[in-house]
A and B are shown apart, each in its own frame.
Chain A
Amino acid sequence: MPPSEAAAGSETVRSRPPAIAAVGVTKRFPGVIANADVDFHVDVGEVHTILGENGAGKSTLAAMLCGLYRPDEGTVVRDGSPLRLRSPRDGLAHGIGMVHQHFRLVDRFTVAENIILGDPTQPWLIDPEAVEDEVAAIGERFGLPVDPHARIGDLTVGQRQRVEIVKVLYRGADVLLLDEPTAVLTPPEVEALFVTVRAMVAEGKAVVFISHKLGEVMSVSDRVTVMRNGHVTGEVATANTSQRELAELMVGRSVVLETRRGTTSGEVGLSAAGLVVRDDDQVALDHVDLDVNQGEIVGIAGVAGNGQRRLARALAGIETPAEGTVVIGGVDVTGRGALAARRAGLAFVPEDRLGTGLVPGLSLTDNMLLTRRRAFFVDRKTARADAEQAIVEYEIKAPGTEAEARVLSGGNAQKVLLARELAEVGEPGGPQVVIVSSPTRGLDVGAAEFVRGLLHEARERGAAVLVISEDLDEVRSLADRIAVLYRGRIALEGPADELRLDEIGMAMAGVDPAEVR
C-alpha cells in the first residue's frame, strides 16, 4: 500500500472511535513493571501489530485488553466507552477474543465440543450437531476449514489454531488478539493464516497481532506499536517504515543480523545411522541418518513435534533407539546410556532446561558439579569458583552461587546450562560434540545474540555442533548445513546457503520438494 493511501485510510476510520484502546495502562507484577503508561489503539478493519522482544510486555498488554488481567492504572476503552473487564469470559461478552500461543483446547473433545465449552449462551441441553453448521459457515467465510466432528487430539497444530480462531469468531468476537500465532506454524500455514486475517479485517473486524518477527509484521499489519521494557517506543504505519527501523525501535540500538559460516575439517564428530525410535505403534524417528563434522554447525529445522526431542534424546544416550547406531567421536555409544555418550565427548543442552538440564532444587554450584568427572568426593570449591565465574562472564542474573536453580528465569537457566556444558568444549579432554535444543527460546534479543556467539565459538574451537530449533530464522543464520525433520524423517538436507526458504518451508510442511519442482 502506498503511503498516501495508508494516510487516507487511517483518516477515514479515525472519524469513529477505535474498536479497542488502552489508555495510559500500567500493570505491575512483583519486582517488575510489565506495562508502564501504555497507550494503544486498534481501529475497525485494521491489523495492528504489537512488536517487541520477549518480556517487552506485549502479552501483558494483550491480556489486559482481553480481560485476563486488570490494569493497575489506566483504562481499556471499547468503541469509545470505558470497560472494566473482570475475566476473559467478560471480554468475550464484549466481543473481544484472544487466541493464545498455547492453545486452550481439550484433546479428547471434538471441535464442536471445544467451541461450546464455557459458552454461557448455549442451552442447558447441549446439542453439538446444531453448532456444526455454524462452524462450517464461519470456516467458509474466513477461509478456516475445520471438521467439527474431528477430535482435537487428531489435528495438526495449524488445524488446532484454526479451531481457536473459529472458537472466538463463533462467540461473536469483533476484536481478535492473536498472541504469536505464527510461532508454531510452517511457512505455508503462515500464509493461510494471513489470508484469514485479511478476510477478517475486510469484514470489519479489528485484529491485534503480537509478534517479534519483523518480516511477518511488515507483510500482515497496517500499523505497528513497538514495545520495549514495558514502554511503547513507537507507533508507525508499516507503509512508512522499514524492518531496520522497527528492529531499532524494538531493541533500542541497531542490530546486525549477520551470518557466519565455519570451515570444517571434514572429520565426523557425531554420526547417526538408520536411527529408529518407536512409541508403541507409532514411529517417532524413522531411519534417520545424520553426520555432523568437527568445526561445523548442523541445524535441525522442523515444526515442533516432528521428532526433534526424541532425536536429541537418542543421540545423547538418554533413550535407546530401536534400531540404528550413534557414534560420538569415533566411539559407538548406542544404547550405552548418557554417561557413555558424555565420556565419548558429548556436551548436551536439552530443550527442557529446568528438569532435564538443571535440577531445580539444587544450587547453581551443585548443578555445575553434575557433569564433573565422577570422583568419590565432590570438589565443591572449584565448582563454586566456576559458578561464580559463569555468573560474571555470562551475565547471569542470580542471587548467588548457592541459589536454587528453580529461582532463575528461563534465559538465565539457559545461560547456567550453557556455561556448564560449553566451558571446556574443544579443549583437550573436553567435549568435542555439542547438541543444543532450542538454544534461544525465551531469551531476549541480547541474550540470544550472546548464546549464538557461544555456539559460533564452540564451532571455531573445532567442535561438531548440532542445533535443534523450531525457529527457522535461527537455524538459517546459525547453521552451515540444514536438515529438516518431518514426522521423524529427514525430509530435506543440504548446505544452508543453497537451500531456498520455500524449499525448507515445503519440507517442514511435508510437501516433497521434488514434486513441486
Chain B
Amino acid sequence: MNDTTFVLTLAASVAAAVPIALAALGELLSERSGVLNLGVEGMMLIGAVTAFQAGDASGNLWVALAVGAAAGAVFSLIHAFLCVTLRANQIVSGLALVIFGTGVSTFIGKSIEGEPLDTDFVPTRWGALADLPLVGPVLFDQDPMMYITIVLAAVIAFYLNRTRAGLALRAVGESPATADSVGVAVALQRYVHVMIGGLLAGAGGAYLVLGQVPAWSQDGTTAGVGWIALALVVFASWKPMRVLLGAFLFGFARRANFWLQGEGVDIPAEFLSMLPYLLTIIVLVVWGSRDLQRRVGAPAALGIPYIRDER
C-alpha cells in the first residue's frame, strides 16, 4: 500500500468535506424549520460564481467568501417567499431554484469560464503538529475554513439542543401550529432558517472556487455537491454532528479514486459522477414514505406549508 498517496487522499478528503458540510448544515437548519430546499445545488452555483467574480475584483479572500454567501442567502429568499408566504410546493420550488441557479450562474460566469483565480485559501501549518505522521497533514495542515466548519457544526448542535431559540426552531419544524399558539413567529423562523441555509450553501459554493479548484467551470465546479449535501442531511438524521461526520465520509468517497487508482483499482469516473444523483434518488425514496420519514427522524412538518387555522 502506498502510504503517501493514502495520507494525501485523506487530507484532500477532509478539504473536500468542507463544502459538503457547509451546504448540508445550512440545509439542516432549513429543514429543521420545516422547509425542504432542494435548490442547494443552485444556491452553491450562485455562491461559487459570485465569489469568483468578487475574488477577481477585490483580490480579498474573505470578501469573496462573504459575497458568495450573501448571494446564496439572497437567492434562497426566492424559495422562502414561494414556500412560506405563497405556500408553494417546496419540491417544485426547490427544483426551480436549481434550474434558475444554473441559468444565472452560466450567464454571470460566461466571461470567466476556464479562467484561473489567484485568490484562494492556503493551508495553515500548525508548526510541529503538522509534521506528525497521518494526523499532521490530515488535521493540522488545512485551511481555516475546515476549522470554521467544525466549530460551526458544534455551534449549530448546541443551538438546536440547548438554547431557547433552538427549541422554538425545532417546534416550528415539528408542529408549527403548536409553536404559533405559544407565540413563536413561524413564518419569521422559516424565513430566517431558509436564508441561513442559502448563506451556508453560498459559502460552500464559494469555497469550491476559493479553496479547491481556483477556477470557474459551469459543469465542474459543483459537480453534484449540492445533491450530496441534500442526501447527507437525511442520512445524518437531521443531526449536525452526524452531518459533519458524514461529510468527511462523502469527502473521502469523492477523493478515494486517486488513491484507488494508485492501488490498481479502477472505478470509472462516470460512476463517481453518478453518485450524487444516485444518493438523491435513494433519499427521495425515503421522502416518498411519511412513515419512513418519521422513523429516520425527519421533522414532522417537513415540506408542509403552514396555514394558520383562523377559526
Interface contact A126-B167, CB-CB below 8 Å: yes
Give the size category of B's interface with A.
20 to 34
Kindly list chain A residues whose C-beta atoms are within 8 Å of the C-beta of B175: 104-107
The 8 Å CB contact of B184, one of A118, A126, A280, is A118
Using an 8 Å CB-CB cutoff, how does the interface string of B146-167 with A read, 1 for contact, 0 for none?
0000000000000000111111
B183 in the interface (beta carbon within 8 A): yes
The listed residue (A89, A118, A280) touching B168 by CB distance below 8 A is: A118
Q: Are B183's CB and A87's CB within 8 A?
A: yes
**What residues on B are CB-neighbors of A16 within 8 Å?**
none
Residues in A whose Cβ lies below 8 Å from that of B165: 124
> In the complex, what residue of chain B is closest to A68 when comparing beta carbons?
B181
In the complex, what residues of A have CB within 8 A of residue B171's CB? 106, 109, 117-118
Q: How far is the CB of A148 from chain B (nearest CB, A)?
A: 15
Q: Does B82 contact A (CB under 8 A)?
A: no
| A59 vs B179: C-alpha distance when bound (angstroms) | 20
Give which listed residue, A29, A88, A105, contacts B183 with CB less than 8 A: A88
Q: Is B290 an interface residue (CB 8 A)?
A: no
**Inter-subunit contact B163/A118 (CB<8 Å):** no
Please determine whether A109 and B174 come into contact, CB atoms closer than 8 angstroms.
yes
Whether A257 sits at the interface, judged by CB under 8 Å, is no
B235 to chain A, nearest CB (A): 19
Q: Is the CB of A280 within 8 A of B311?
A: no
A-B interface pairs (CB < 8 A), number: 61
Q: B178 in the interface, Cβ–Cβ < 8 Å?
A: yes
B182 beta carbon closer than 8 Å to chain A: yes
Establish whether residues A104 and B311, one from each chain, have CB atoms under 8 Å apart when the complex forms. no
- For B181, give its contact among A29, A104, A124, A280 (CB under 8 Å): A104
Chain B contact residues, majority secondary structure: helix
Of residues B167, B171, B311, which shows the largest number of chain A Cβ atoms within 10 Å of its Cβ?
Answer: B167
A88 touching B167 by the CB < 8 A rule?
Answer: no
CA distance in complex: A100, B166 (Å):
25
Least Cβ distance of B136 to chain A in Å?
37
Check B183 against A106 for contact (C-beta < 8 Å). Answer: no
* Contact of A108 with B by CB under 8 A: yes
Considering the complex, which residues of chain A in the window 84-125 have a beta carbon less than 8 Å from any beta carbon of chain B? 87-89, 100, 104-109, 113, 116-120, 122-125
How many A residues have CB within 8 A of the partner chain? 23
Q: B183 touching A118 by the CB < 8 A rule?
A: yes
Given A107-B300, A117-B171, the answer on whether A122 and B164 have CB atoms closer than 8 Å is: yes
Pick from A29, A108, A109, A123: contact of B164, CB under 8 Å: A123
Provide the bound-state CA to CA distance between A359 and B64, in Å: 54
A107 neighbours in B (Cβ, 8 Å):
174-175, 300
A43 to chain B, nearest CB (A): 28
Residues of A within 8 A of B96 (CB): none
Report the minimum CB–CB distance from B230 to chain A (whole Å).
22
CB neighbours of A122 from chain B (8 A)? 164
Asked whether, in the complex, the Cβ of B181 is within 8 Å of the Cβ of A113, the reply is: no
Closest Cβ of chain B to A190, distance in Å, is 24
Chain A residues whose CB sits within 8 angstroms of the CB of B168 once the complex forms: 117-118
Residue from B162, B174, B178 with most neighbouring chain A CB atoms (10 Å): B178
A69 closest partner in B (C-beta): B311
Distance in angstroms between the alpha carbons of A211 and B94 in the assembled complex: 46
Is B286 part of the binding interface, using a Cβ–Cβ cutoff of 8 Å?
Answer: no
User: Residue among B162, B164, B300 with the most chain A CB within 10 A?
Assistant: B164
Chain A min CB distance to B156 (Å): 15
A105 touches B182 (CB 8 A): no
Contact between B183 and A125 (Cβ–Cβ < 8 Å)? Answer: no
Alpha-carbon separation in the docked complex, A105 to B181 (Å): 10
Q: Decide if B311 touches A29 in the complex (CB within 8 Å).
A: yes
Interface residues of B in 177-193 (CB under 8 A from A): 177-179, 181-184
Q: Flag whether B3 is at the interface (Cβ < 8 A).
A: no
- Please, how many angstroms separate the alpha-carbon atoms of A87 and B182 in the complex? 9
Q: Are A126 and B162 in contact (CB under 8 A)?
A: yes
Nearest residue in B to A120 (C-beta to C-beta)?
B183
Query: Contact between B179 and A108 (Cβ–Cβ < 8 Å)?
Result: no
On whether the beta carbons of B162 and A116 are closer than 8 Å, the reply is no
Q: Which residues of B contact A120 (CB under 8 A)?
A: 183
Closest to A167 in B: B182
B219 in the interface (beta carbon within 8 A): no
The verdict on B291 contacting chain A, using a C-beta distance below 8 Å, is yes
Whether A124 contacts B163 in the complex (CB less than 8 A), given A107-B300, A117-B171, comes out as yes
How far, in angstroms, from A378 to B218 measured CA to CA in the complex? 55
**A119 to chain B: which residues have CB within 8 Å?**
182
**When chains A and B are docked, how far (Å) is the Cα of A107 from the Cα of B301?**
11
Residues in A with CB closer than 8 Å to B163 are 124-126
Nearest Cβ distance between residue B150 and chain A, in whole angstroms?
Answer: 22
Closest to A114 in B: B178
Q: Contact mask A435-468 → B, CB, 8 Å, 1/0? A: 0000000000000000000000000000000000
User: Measured between alpha carbons, how far is A24 from B177 in the docked complex, in Å?
Assistant: 31
Q: Name the A residues within 8 Å of B179 (CB-CB).
A: 106, 117-118
Q: Which residue of B lies closest to A128 (CB)?
A: B167
Report how far A117 CA is from B178 CA in the complex, Å.
9
| Residues of chain B in range 244-290 having any CB-CB distance to chain A below 8 Å | none
Q: Which residue of B lies closest to A279 (CB)?
A: B291
B34 to chain A, nearest CB (A): 12
Contacts of B300 in A (CB 8 A): 107-108
In the assembled complex, the Cα of A118 lies from the Cα of B179 at a distance in Å of 7
Closest-CB distance, A170 to chain B (whole angstroms): 12
Q: Chain A residue with minimal CB distance to B172?
A: A106
- Name the A residues within 8 Å of B174 (CB-CB): 106-109
For residue B238, give the distance in angstroms from its CB to the closest CB of chain A.
11
Residues of chain A with a CB closer than 8 A to B183's CB: 87-89, 118, 120
The listed residue (B162, B164, B182) touching A104 by CB distance below 8 A is B182
Contacts of A89 in B (CB 8 A): 182-183
Q: What is the CA–CA distance of A270 and B246 in the complex, to the nearest angstrom?
A: 55
Q: In chain A, residues 4-53, which have Cβ atoms closer than 8 Å to a Cβ of chain B?
A: 29
B265 to chain A, nearest CB (A): 40
If A107-B174, A108-B174 touch, whether A126 touches B164 (CB-CB below 8 Å) is: yes
Binary contact readout A113-144 vs B (1 if CB under 8 angstroms, 0 otherwise): 10011111011111000000000000000000
Residue numbers of B with Cβ under 8 A of A are: 162-168, 170-171, 174-175, 177-179, 181-184, 291, 300, 311
Other than the known A29-B311, A105-B178, A116-B167, what 17 A-B pairs have Cβ atoms closer than 8 Å? A87-B183, A89-B183, A104-B178, A106-B174, A107-B300, A109-B171, A117-B167, A117-B171, A117-B178, A117-B182, A118-B168, A118-B171, A124-B165, A125-B163, A125-B164, A126-B162, A126-B164
- Some 15 contacts from A to B, beta carbons below 8 A apart, are A88-B181, A89-B182, A106-B171, A106-B175, A108-B300, A109-B170, A116-B164, A117-B167, A117-B179, A118-B179, A123-B164, A124-B164, A126-B163, A126-B164, A126-B167
